[in-house]
Structure 1
Amino acid sequence: ATRWQDIQGMNNWKGVIDPLHPDLRAAGIRYGEFVEAVYDAIDMEVESEFIYYSLYGKSDLFPNVGVTSDYKITRYLYSTLVVEGWRTAFDGLHKRSSTTWIGYIAVSSDQETRKLGRRDVAVILRGTKASDEWYVNSEFMMKELKLLGLEKPLPRVVEGFLSMYTASDASKMFGDSSLRDQIFKEVNKLVEVDYKDEDMSITFVGHSMGAGMAPLAAADYGFNKPRIAEGRTVMVTAFVYGAPKTGDGEFKKRAEESCKIIRVVSTGDIVTLIPPVSLTPPGIYQHVGVEWRVDWSSSPYVQDLGFGMRCHNLELYLHCIAG
């Protein structure tokens, strides 16, 4: 494997996590900052007509949030949230839906591509912000997944993540196509048309809720991607930070066959234990991919955070990676 393929997990990150290779450190910071950009740009003003949408257009996002990057955002991504059952009781409704801005797709410039050794497409998915996302995230029931082949037993994944990935509602702004369809349409265009003769990496990146969905999206794309010409490399990888568990053992098996996944875990991060064993049969939910553990306790700049949500902060993760 070439160096970039090692960093994207061709050999399951053997020899590059411990000791930490500078290129993996750089990738971990770069992709994490791409997610942080969404947090910095999302409209959280309660009275705003555009709450949970981006404050900036695609070309203005990076400059306005202070991200210096040789990547160009080619598409914003939106997720449709469907809330039903007991969660709608207070509204007097049986079901409601809404859409939120959940991330974007960006591609490396020619100059950055030469530096990286391949054309990189980054699919960025943020963590929970909208109130309805909290409801959907609490749907720990498992649902069969038919996107990775129909061989039995079918893999099962968190119902809430699958719903946010596949739902659509044409009556809502940006809701006419599912998050899955948006990703496939844009990434396929980049792979098959815009850069059809180049070696590429398709990197799915997520934090928190987005880290639960990124392995699902990466496994799906890895399994269902277009046919790649002989002699050309198109690697599919997920970089996830503070990830909850996405699915069961069968999902883990098929996901790890379809793509490469590296899971950055901070000491004391409670979200990495979700769904909790107390609410699910033991052994049902399993983590996927290779673990990259980071420890804030060795930093002189971080107070004792103990255990909980404070250990889940993405900026804390990036501080630990930076060293």
Structure 2
Amino acid sequence: MIENIVRRWRVLSGQDNWKNLLDPLDIDLRCYIIHYGEMAQATYDIFNTEKTSEYVGSGRYSRKNLFARVGLAIGNSYHYTPTKYLYSTSIVDVPEEFLLEPFSKEAWCKEWNWIGYVVVATDQGKVALGRRDILVAWRGTIQALEWIEDFDFPLVSAYKILGKAIIHKR
């Protein structure tokens, strides 16, 4: 299966708009989707939401142990080296719903939260993927006010995407 991904990564990444890959779902595409889904899920597994921890709002694990601690090191053919952790920050007072703040006064930080990571495929990962992959993964919505913002769906014109001819057809 890995050989297929090495050979087909461009097609699996959408080169032909996933023609003949979606119905039924191509097994290589399925593996590809699961791989990147697990990398995204890791951002939620890593984020420390424990309010009693002095490290609330940070990543639970060091970069060195990132994939071992979230269960992606064993049995995973796609090897990466974490290069950077990403943080969101605010220099203005924001409601607690936007930044997790610890109860402890000795907390590591009260102004920013961990949001994701950057990883680069190792030489072994490059062989498995057929290319040097750089992946940036960040967590999505967790806090209550983030969810409220997510449910605001302002309507926008599809003109820039579909063009005039499509919009005026009925």
TM-score between both structures, scaled by the size of structure 1: 0.38
Larger-gyration structure (1/2): 2
Q: Determine what percentage of the aligned residue pairs are the same residue.
A: 39
Instruction: State the 1:98 CA deviation.
Output: 5.0
**Aligned-partner Cα distance in 2 for 1:107–1:250:** 37
Q: Which runs of 5+ in 2 are unaligned?
A: 1-6, 98-109
**What is residue 134 of structure 2 aligned with on the other side?**
121
* Equivalent position of 1:78 in the other structure: 87
Residues 198-230 of structure 1 show CA distances to partners (whole Å, capped at 9, x for unaligned) of xxxxxxxxxxxxxxxxxxxxxxxxxxxxxxxxx
1:48-86 per-position Cα deviation (integer Å, ceiling 9, x unaligned): 2322210111111111111124111111122346787xx
Q: What is the Cα deviation at residue 250 of structure 1?
A: 5.0
Give the direction of change, closer, same or farther, for the CA distance of 1:249–1:125 in structure 2 (3 Å limit): farther
Counterpart mapping for 1:51-70 below 5 A: 51-68=56-73, 69=76, 70=79
Q: Look up the match of 2:106.
A: none
| Whole-angstrom distance in 1 between the partners of 2:57 and 2:161 | 31
Q: Determine the C-alpha separation between the residues in 2 that align with 1:250 and 1:83.
A: 38
2:136 aligned with 1:110, yes or no? no
Q: Partners of 1:248 and 1:83 in 2: how far apart?
A: 34
- The structure-2 alpha-carbon separation of the partners of 1:17 and 1:52, relative to structure 1 and needing over 3 Å to count, comes to same
Alignment length (residue pairs): 140
Letter of the 2:88 counterpart: S
| 1:33-52 correspondence to structure 2 within 5 Å | 33-52=38-57
SS at match of 2:24: coil
Q: Which runs of 5+ in 1 are unaligned?
A: 88-96, 143-246, 254-282, 284-323
SS in 1 for 2:133: strand
**Aligned residue number for residue 259 of structure 1:** none
CA–CA distance in structure 2, aligned partners of residues 17 and 48 of structure 1:
44
Question: What is the aligned counterpart of 2:147 among 134, 138, 154?
Answer: 134
> Are residues 110 and 139 of structure 1, via their aligned partners in 2, closer, same or farther at CA, if it must alter by over 3 Å?
same
Q: Highest relative contact order (Cα 8 Å, sep 6+), 1 or 2? A: 2
Q: Which whole-Å CA distance do the structure 2 matches of 1:100 and 1:248 have between them? A: 34
Q: Deviations over 1:142-175 (max 9, x none)?
A: 8xxxxxxxxxxxxxxxxxxxxxxxxxxxxxxxxx
Matched, 1:18 2:23: yes
After TM superposition, the runs of 4+ consecutive aligned structure 1 residues lying more than 4 A away are 81-84, 138-142, 250-253
Q: Distance in 1 between matches of 2:56 and 2:31?
A: 32
Per the alignment, residue 249 of structure 1 pairs with: 158
In structure 2, C-alpha distance between the alignment counterparts of 1:110 and 1:18, rounded to whole Å: 34
Equivalent residues in 2 for 1:1-323, closer than 5 Å: 3-68=8-73, 69=76, 70-80=79-89, 99-138=112-151, 140=153, 249=158, 252=161
Q: Separation in 2 of the partners of 1:112 and 1:19?
A: 28
Q: Which amino acid in structure 2 is aligned with residue 66 of structure 1?
A: G
Distance between the aligned counterparts of 1:138 and 1:52, measured in 2?
23
- RMSD between aligned alpha carbons? 3.3
Match of 1:177 in 2: none
SS at match of 2:135: strand
Contact 1:80 1:100 in 2 (8 A): yes
Q: Which structure shows the bigger proportion of residues in strand conformation?
A: 1
In 2, Cα distance between the equivalents of 1:65 and 1:119?
22
Contact conserved, 1:105 with 1:121, CA < 8 A, in 2? yes
Task: Give the drift of 1:122.
Answer: 1.4
Q: What's the CA shift for 1:31?
A: 0.8
